[in-house]
Amino acid sequence: MMKGKKKYLLNIAVILLIGGTVIYLSIGNQWKQVVDAFAHAKISWIIAMAIVMFLYYIFDAFSLLYFGRFYKKDYTYKQSFINAISGTFFNGITPFASGGQFAQVYIFNKQGIAPTYSASILLMCFICYQSVLVIYTGIVLIFKYQYFIERPAIFSLVVLGFLINFVVIAALFGGAKSKTLQNFLTHTILKFLTKIRIIKDYESTCFKVKTYLSDFRNQLGLLQRNKPVLIRSCICNVIKLTIIYSMPFFSAKALNLDVSFYDFFDFIGLCSCIYLINAFLPIPGSSGGSEGVYLLLFSFLGPVGVSSSMFLWRFMSYYMGLIIGALVFSLDKEINRTRLE
């Protein structure tokens, strides 16, 4: 237990160190101007930004609620919110956001939903989120194609991020529906990865992949039989993505930068690319990478504008969730109570 806590504390230290270093380097000799920008910031916009970001966590919890009630009819919104925001915290402090699901399975168990069922809930949430993400960002790339094609370095990273997300969901859908594709994945692809020593144990990995595809197929069938829930979850994810992608726009408005409401969808398009590129960054919270890509994409805001807005954007879209999630997870009585055997 202590070893796990030390690992999380180390990850948090890495996040703060890398994020702080990038922010320091990006500001450079402009500390006075950045401080002045915050001194004259519009408090009303900052409050609006915090409220809108909190709505993100509210809609995130609704997805868990819809699927949680498949297995526990009296599962409450309070429980789903606690689970969702705690997952945000653990995703944020682990590489590739890998710790959130383990934490959520643990929390579901404390809330009366067995690990077998909680794994199904999280898989259904993943199916809906990943499907919406691919469609949403695909539309963004189509409409912003001209902008990115003029910036080859950015465009290649954005396309790579999109392809990673697309291949993941396409392989899962294809492998679940097609026996031929499943055999191709488990025999041809996995054997190739074993030969080049990316995979160490072929038999064990093959079994895990087949099991996961089988689970995916079962949950896909459950979603298809419950279309109202599927639609509500997808709507929640569209709202979530729109909120998280709009945070740079709110940052710019809060800091009195020269942007208008006509720029709103441009900001959404650019910010979506940050998250696409971050898909293959192994650092917890994509620290360093997120800030660096932001500086690159939003450089048109000017040296002071891009540095100050990045700081506000990163705090609201990332650190605020970590703080709330850590507090909720550590203070919730249901999670932290010790059951008598």
Residue 268 lies in a domain: yes
Give the global pTM. Answer: 0.85
As a three-state string, the secondary structure of the chain is: CHHHHHHHHHHHHHHHHHHHHHHHHHHCCCHHHHHHHHHCCCHHHHHHHHHHHHHHHHHHHHHHHHHHHHHCCCCCHHHHHHHHHHHHHHHHCCHHHCCHHHHHHHHHHHCCCCHHHHHHHHHHHHHHHHHHHHHHHHHHHHHCHHHHHCCHHHHHHHHHHHHHHHHHHHHHHHHHHCHHHHHHHHHHHHHHHHHCCCCCCHHHHHHHHHHHHHHHHHHHHHHHHCHHHHHHHHHHHHHHHHHHHHHHHHHHHHCCCCCCHHHHHHHHHHHHHHHHHHHHCCCHHHCCHHHHHHHHHCHHHCHHHHHHHHHHHHHHHHHHHHHHHHHHHHHCHHHHCCCCC
Residue 167 lies in a domain: no
Residue 182 lies in a domain: no
Residue 280 lies in a domain: yes
By percentage, how much of the chain surpasses pLDDT 90?
33
Residue 302 lies in a domain: yes
Residue 111 lies in a domain: yes
Domain count, the chain: 1
Residue 307 lies in a domain: yes
How does pLDDT run across 41-96, given as a tens digit for each residue? Answer: 999 999 999 999 999 999 999 989 999 999 999 999 999 999 999 999 888 887 76
Residue ranges making up the domain that contains 115? 41-150+222-336
In this prediction, residues 205-227 reach a mean pLDDT of 84
pLDDT over threshold 80, residue 150: no
Residue 18 lies in a domain: no
pLDDT recorded at residue 288: 59
pLDDT over threshold 60, residue 338: no
pLDDT recorded at residue 7: 57
